Amino acid sequence: MTIQWFPGHMNKAKREVSEKLKYVDLVLELVDARLPQSSRNPLLDKIIQNKPRLMILNKIDLADPVATKQWLAEFERQGIPAIGINAKEDHAKKKIMTGANEVLKEKKARDASRGIKPRAIRAMVIGIPNVGKSTLLNRLVGKKIAATGNKPGVTKGQQWLKISGSLELLDTPGILWPKFEDERVAKKLAVTGAIKDQLLHLDDLAIYALDFLSEHYPDSLVKRYGFTKEDLTVGGVEQLLLISKKRGFKDDYEKGATLFLTELRNGMLGGITFDIVPEQN
């Protein structure tokens, strides 16, 4: 594996997030609903410590709705309040307002009993690149705000964005890196577009995804590419050649891989979730 984050970058990103955390009551941890586990940063728990958190599974329109339900239940089981949203749609705002108020309900009641005047909840969005942080901020604010760049370390003067009378957000999200301790996680992140295509070969990615779909979502391949029962058993390499042929690329499997991955990422194969909920005994 050649994918690496330099320790210097990691420390800088961590420092920046820790610094901003001081000013907020609540962390909105944004993950990709197609990868509720693999698109988290494992260090976040350590960084945010006891700070209240609302987990947000974004891009539910691209994920498998059954798996999304299971993941939401799994996070609740772990004691992490969680909601699912599509940051491109208006419902996101209401869901987040309700979720944030719910997470801070007890604190607010405590404050009230001590005679502390209620004030707006201050929150920040944290997540790895491409989970939809900018899209969500824009949706919440209701206008296009300046792009902040996709790299940890890109910052500018900080401001509070007033979302409503009861919620304010830091205008720059906290950006952390994904973890690549195993190659499968890196492949899942690349398949969903969270990390750049140049880092892994397109055909390897397509083959990985085809093997995964054949096992977990065979119907998606039957519907989209007219696979037969037998096609589903021949393995990713053959399947990639099959798709290339069916789409008129002859044996140019690179073109086939590009087309297949684009269609997969755009949701044309239906809602797919690549992280499987761990089974409880």
Binding mask 21-60 for ligand G4P (x = CB under 6 A): -------------------------------------xx-
Smallest separation (angstroms) from ligand G4P to the CB of 13: 13
Q: 228's torsion region: left (phi>0), alpha (psi -120 to 50) or beta? A: beta
Residue closer to ligand G4P (CB basis): 34 or 214: 34
- Judged by CB under 6 A, the residue of 52, 61, 199, 234 near ligand G4P is 61
- Judged by CB under 6 A, the residue of 132, 152, 174, 178 near ligand G4P is 132
User: Judged by CB under 6 A, does residue 191 bind ligand G4P?
Assistant: no
Residue 137 to residue 281: CA distance in whole angstroms: 39
Q: At what angle do helices 236-246 and 218-225 cross, to 10 degrees?
A: 20
Residue closer to ligand G4P (CB basis): 33 or 213: 33
Residues 6+ away with beta carbon under 8 Å from 21? 27, 47, 48, 51, 124, 174
Residue closer to ligand G4P (CB basis): 152 or 236: 152
Q: Dihedral sign, CA of 65, 70, 71, 75?
A: positive
Residue 109 to residue 276: CA distance in whole angstroms: 37
Residues 6+ away with beta carbon under 8 Å from 281? none
| Other beta carbons less than 10 A from residue 100's beta carbon | 24
User: Judged by CB under 6 A, does residue 88 bind ligand G4P?
Assistant: yes
Residue closer to ligand G4P (CB basis): 200 or 240: 200
- Judged by CB under 6 A, the residue of 39, 68, 134, 244 near ligand G4P is 134
Residue 243 to residue 227: CA distance in whole angstroms: 9
- Judged by CB under 6 A, the residue of 70, 135, 155, 166 near ligand G4P is 135
Binding site for ligand G4P (CB under 6 A): 58-59, 61-62, 86-88, 127, 129-135, 150
